[in-house]
């Protein structure tokens, strides 16, 4: 008879939570490994990183304006982070050269701050920052509209935020992580938008990117169950046109992701801890 190695191994005598997970695994669910369920102490650490991360984005929100460069945004983020005893996770990550991602208009994500990139009236920009504080990671991003933009771009920014909110409402304890994308995709499609498939949300907390993968489109296959204590992001990237993306050939670092038809793209992101009552935002 085939023997199946179980993925979930409790630490010590199984608690009620452990038993529930092992029971679901026996019935065929994809369960997290034990290390993906954070201890209360770890959650507090990630929460503290989240508070600094929110301070970074609040500072950007106060200071962002037409005429400033994305390099200046990088400086604001780096300084705030340093002043609060924290480290920017992006800097040096996979060769990423700066402290924050600044993605303007058709840049979907991972835009690199530059001296030559000046914000202009009507631009939409995503600022994505990840803080490391005492070894704990918190990751969030917001959209900013520079001055006044077109109704179409304004709507893209609003609907993308609604996609994140739909993801939050859909993520319940013990649900399939792929339920999130199953709820987001039809809503984006109602508006004629494309949902980026090549980049996803992710577990976070002890590392920058952990399991599970959090898809924002409708995956057919089942995903991992979301157990209370798991920490993860939801971060839909929504394109005004095609869902397809490519890497900018002009980016010497190979990081910048551009929409396939060069139409605008938007993204909002938070870090959450799953609780018995649903996801709690750690990056408010
Ligand atoms: N913050 C991004 C995310 O949400 C990852 C950026 S990686 C970097 O997962 F290297 F580009 F900074
Ligand atoms: Co991010
Ligand atoms: Co993220």
Ligand closest to 142 (CA) is 2
Asked if residue 8 belongs to a domain, the reply is no
Segment 232-247, tens digit of pLDDT: 999 999 999 999 999 9
Asked whether 159 lines ligand 1 (CB < 6 A), one says no
Distance 110 CA to ligand 1 centre (A): 6
Here the CATH number for the domain that contains residue 60 is 3.90.230.10
Asked if residue 62 belongs to a domain, the reply is yes
Asked if residue 161 belongs to a domain, the reply is yes
Distance 139 CA to ligand 3 centre (A): 5
Three-state secondary structure readout of the chain:
CCCCCCCCCCCCCCCHHHHHHHHHHHCCCECCCHHHECCHHHHHHHHHHHHHHHHHHHHHHHHCCCCCEHHHHHHHHHHHHHHCCCEECCCCHHHCCCCCEEEECCEEECCCCCCCCECCCCCEEEEEEEEEECCEEEEEEEEEECCCCCHHHHHHHHHHHHHHHHHHHHCCCCCECHHHHHHHHHHHHHCCCEECCCCCEEECCCCCCEEEEECCCCCCCCCEECCCCEEEEECCEEECCCCCEEECCCCCCCCCEEECCCCCEEECEEEEEEECCEEEECCC
Count structural domains, the chain. 1
Asked if residue 210 belongs to a domain, the reply is yes
Asked if residue 56 belongs to a domain, the reply is yes
Ligand closest to 101 (CA) is 1
User: What is residue 5's predicted lDDT score, i.e. its pLDDT?
Assistant: 76
Asked whether 93 lines ligand 1 (CB < 6 A), one says yes
Asked if residue 120 belongs to a domain, the reply is yes
Closest ligand 1 atom to 110 CA: 11
Distance 38 CA to ligand 2 centre (A): 20
Residue nearest to atom 4 of ligand 1 (CA): 139
Determine what percent of the chain is predicted with pLDDT higher than 90. Answer: 98
Closest ligand 1 atom to 100 CA: 12
Asked if residue 23 belongs to a domain, the reply is no
Asked whether 92 lines ligand 1 (CB < 6 A), one says no
Asked whether 210 lines ligand 1 (CB < 6 A), one says no
Segment 209-233, tens digit of pLDDT: 999 999 999 999 999 999 999 999 9
Asked if residue 13 belongs to a domain, the reply is no
Segment 64-78, tens digit of pLDDT: 999 999 999 999 999
Residue 213 structural domain: 34-281
């Amino acid at each position: 008879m085939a023997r199946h190695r179980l993925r979930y191994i409790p630490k010590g005598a199984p608690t009620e939570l452990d038993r529930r997970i092992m029971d679901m695994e026996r019935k065929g669910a994809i369960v997290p490994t034990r290390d993906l369920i954070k201890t209360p102490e770890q959650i507090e650490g990630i929460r503290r990183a989240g508070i600094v991360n929110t301070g970074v984005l609040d500072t950007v929100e106060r200071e962002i304006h037409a005429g400033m460069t994305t390099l200046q945004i990088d400086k604001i983020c780096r300084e705030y982070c340093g002043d609060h005893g924290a480290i920017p996770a992006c800097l040096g990550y996979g060769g990423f050269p700066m402290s924050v991602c600044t993605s303007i208009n058709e840049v979907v994500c991972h835009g690199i701050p530059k001296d030559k990139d000046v914000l202009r009236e009507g631009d939409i920009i995503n600022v994505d920052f990840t803080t490391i504080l005492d070894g704990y990671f918190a990751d969030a991003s917001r959209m900013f509209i520079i001055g006044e933009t077109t109704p179409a771009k304004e709507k893209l920014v609003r609907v993308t935020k609604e996609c994140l909110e739909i993801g939050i409402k859909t993520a319940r304890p013990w649900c399939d992580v792929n339920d999130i994308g199953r709820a987001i995709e039809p809503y984006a499609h109602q508006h004629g938008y494309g949902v980026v498939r090549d980049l996803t949300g992710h577990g976070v907390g002890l590392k920058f990117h952990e399991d599970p993968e959090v898809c924002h489109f409708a995956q057919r296959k089942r995903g991992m169950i979301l157990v209370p204590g798991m920490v993860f992001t939801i971060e839909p990237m929504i394109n005004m046109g095609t869902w397809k993306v490519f890497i900018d050939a002009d980016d010497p670092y190979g990081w910048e992701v551009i929409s396939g038809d060069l139409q605008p793209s938007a993204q909002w992101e938070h870090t959450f801890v799953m609780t018995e009552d649903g996801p709690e935002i750690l990056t408010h």
